Every structure is written in C-alpha cells, then in structure tokens.
Amino acid sequence: MNFLGKNIRHLRKKFSQTQSELADMMGKGQTTIGNWENGVSEPNVEELLLLSNYFGTPVDILLKVDLSLTNWEIGNAGKDDKKNSVIKEYDHQSAEMSVVKEPEDTNFTYILGRLDKMQQQIDLLSTKLKGK
C-alpha cells in the first residue's frame, strides 16, 4: 500500500504549513499539493526527492509506512530551519510493513544512480512490450 498522499499531509501539518506554503517552497500550485495529498496525482521523482529532503524522511518511509500511526519524529532546530531537520526516532511496530535498511553510505548520488538504473530497466521492459 502506498501512503504517500497521507504522509505528505501528515508531515505538512507537523511542520505547521499550509498547502500554499508547501506549494510555494516546491514551485507548484496549491491545487497540486492538494491533489498529491488526496491521491489524485503523485509527485515525480525529483519532487519526491525534494519532499524527502525537506521533511527529513527517507523516500521508502514516505511511500511504505503510515506515519500517522507511528511515533516517527522529525527533529528541527526551529520553524525557520525545517530544511535542516534530522530524524530523532522511529519505533518500527511489528504490525507495520517492514522497511528495507539503506546502506550506511547512502547519499544523494547513490539514490540518483539507483533511480537511473531503475529507469533503464523500465525503458527496456517498455521496449520489449511494444515489440509484442
């Protein structure tokens, strides 16, 4: 199950932000943020990475864990410094879906490399399907 829309809403409220404020930060319209939260549409990969960095929450957590049902906490130095937030605590409950642990050396370049490889595989499969 994908919890992305629900988690965007949850984290936005945790940061005491309106849809318009988040939209301004992302360079989008308020309707776009509302559509993401309601599952009408989803952010693209670049937007997803921006949300992940902004909220200090790994992409896999944004997608696979219902944050409103956990004790996931975002530590931030203050309202004006949300971008530099760090993860304080996450207690994985047994009833939740398991989350794959990321390698210790995970960084933005690593993630982009993995996404590029995934896109190549998708393109290859798409080409094969069109040939049938």
Q: Which domain holds residue 84?
A: 4-101
Distance CA 6, CA 40 (A): 12
We report the CATH number of the domain holding residue 35 as 1.10.260.40
Total number of domains constituting the chain = 1
Domain assignment present for 128: no
Amino acid at 128: K
| pLDDT (mean) for 60-66 | 88
Note the pTM of the prediction, 2 decimals: 0.56
Give pLDDT, residue 66. Answer: 87
Domain assignment present for 79: yes
Give pLDDT, residue 12. Answer: 93
